[in-house]
Structure 1
């Protein structure tokens, strides 16, 4: 398990160096599905765009769920429809995760993948960066680094980022990128929509991304474009604002090739994490209760962390392992 994690990180660093460049002249950014082969690996192409008149793909490794951006000329490509891609890659962890998310789509709240790695002692940490006038709660990241630096470095964390937060918190974003550049943390960037609109009075069925008139294509693709422009690598994951969706919205998200991620442990709501939990806190300064609860959780696990008996897991590996042997 740990050898696989180490190998995965080495691969991710190699891909990261090629994938986290800033793309400042993005044009024709669009959904594109296809089988993309560059020996010895098969990839799923899910986006196509040009930058300074050069063509690129956003690609997903269907076995490990990592993503990368690469020059389209490097690949032998067979274009496909979304349905054809699902059939072609149906036996991979990537497509199994998409199917699992679609099977839970009838829930109005918390549709998607809620847990991973049920056999492991530890959690996958996700922190949401919703629009906020407050600064990033940096305690989350300094505390996890200080707790884990002797046993697990970089420390994996998944951040659900909105386009508005990203573009209005450039100083905080630069600080996070610096931590990652120093190999103190490794960030999986989750698409959390661009606007994250919310109404205090509207019912859930007409709230968040279910608000009438919402342009879901804009919410998804604009966020990805701005990630790339800011030097961030979009992952294959999506988190619904407010964890609110309906069946049609879930299928809309999976039609972009994205896996909805929920949670079974929203700390601010008193939900306690179990082995394999996908934990949710908010890092945007608006939810100090959840952050305080997470810091207390870390402090309670100090001895287990030191003995490598309680660790943080990369979200991609958690989901990948969950579906690798599923038939």
Structure 2
């Protein structure tokens, strides 16, 4: 009996230890730029932080645009300003995409990459998770899994997530993570700012990230830090709240090594999707029209999906393929 009690106590202590680690706060989260080689591939380190007593890097593969969190001991970095890295690795898909965005950043709406060029017919689906008191629209994801279960597993989707959504939707985040762990969906986590400020009635030139007094450093880094604390790996992609920006703020975002992603098919605004479209819908319960239109789109393409003539594309692959030689 005493042995059973001892074993029970050890199990409880172990579970408490795991919970403590999962809830461990990230500290000293900063932008940091260096080049290195990781598992035979050229990478760029773009963030450095601590969790528990260990130090980590957030890195991006220059060819695939995939990101990963690695321990400091795994790399031998060569620190360099991002401007110099951009020159050294100018021929890579990652820096080609960054440079492309910087050159076409003068429009008020929809700056960034808005269209992909997949070899087959299909779209890249992006779902925005702006701050909301409503629950996640889980029907979007169950429908995706149902329709694509015979052709694409896991189903690729990009989720643009805001900090304030994470703070109030822990159960929804855990549910999404469970789908990813079960390999039902493959998520690219896109930075959508921490606060996602929006005030109805204010001109667009003074709204969203263009609101006077906005702290871009906080909006970018605090959101990534919260993502990591929630067990999410930030990608190198960024979506402007409301798709609103100007040349100055685009340059600020790209200086963090982030690639803005727009959309040429915001369904709730009546924009139709075509081959290669980057489709935008909201999954935070605030845009039922866009969700309805997307689910209708799925149904109209049902036979094409089954015949693999209409596919969903991973956001990283879409951008990667667009900027390959």
Query: Where does structure 1 differ by over 4 angstroms across 4 or more consecutive aligned residues?
Result: none
Q: Distance in 1 between matches of 2:317 and 2:296?
A: 25
SS in 2 for 1:263: coil
Cα deviations across residues 251-302 of structure 1 (Å, max 9, x unaligned)? 0000000000000000001111111110000000000000000000000001
Q: Distance in 2 between matches of 1:74 and 1:243?
A: 37
Distance 1:223 1:297, change over 3 A: same
Q: Which residue of 2 aligns with 1:238?
A: 238
Q: Which residue of 1 aligns with 2:11?
A: none
Q: Which residue of 1 aligns with 2:14?
A: none
TM-score, normalised relative to structure 1: 0.91
- Note if 1:298 corresponds to 2:292: no
Q: Distance in 1 between matches of 2:96 and 2:120?
A: 20
Superposed, 1:102-141 pairs within 5 Å as: 102-141=102-141
Q: Distance in 1 between matches of 2:135 and 2:283?
A: 9
- Please say which structure displays the higher CA radius of gyration: 2
Superposed, 1:155-194 pairs within 5 Å as: 155-194=155-194
Superposed, 1:241-260 pairs within 5 Å as: 241-260=241-260
Q: Distance in 2 between matches of 1:109 and 1:143?
A: 30
Superposed, 1:307-326 pairs within 5 Å as: 307-325=307-325
Cα deviations across residues 8-56 of structure 1 (Å, max 9, x unaligned)? xxxxxxxxxxxxx957232211000110123411110000111223221
SS in 1 for 2:132: coil
Offset of residue 185 of structure 1: 0.6
Distance 1:180 1:39, change over 3 A: closer
Q: How many residues align?
A: 305
Offset of residue 119 of structure 1: 3.5
Contact 2:120 2:309 in 1 (8 A): no
Superposed, 1:1-327 pairs within 5 Å as: 22=22, 24-325=24-325
CA RMSD between the two structures: 1.1
Q: Distance in 2 between matches of 1:107 and 1:23?
A: 41
SS in 1 for 2:309: coil
Q: Which residue of 1 aligns with 2:7?
A: none
Q: Distance in 1 between matches of 2:321 and 2:71?
A: 29
Distance 1:118 1:303, change over 3 A: same
Q: Distance in 2 between matches of 1:36 and 1:206?
A: 40
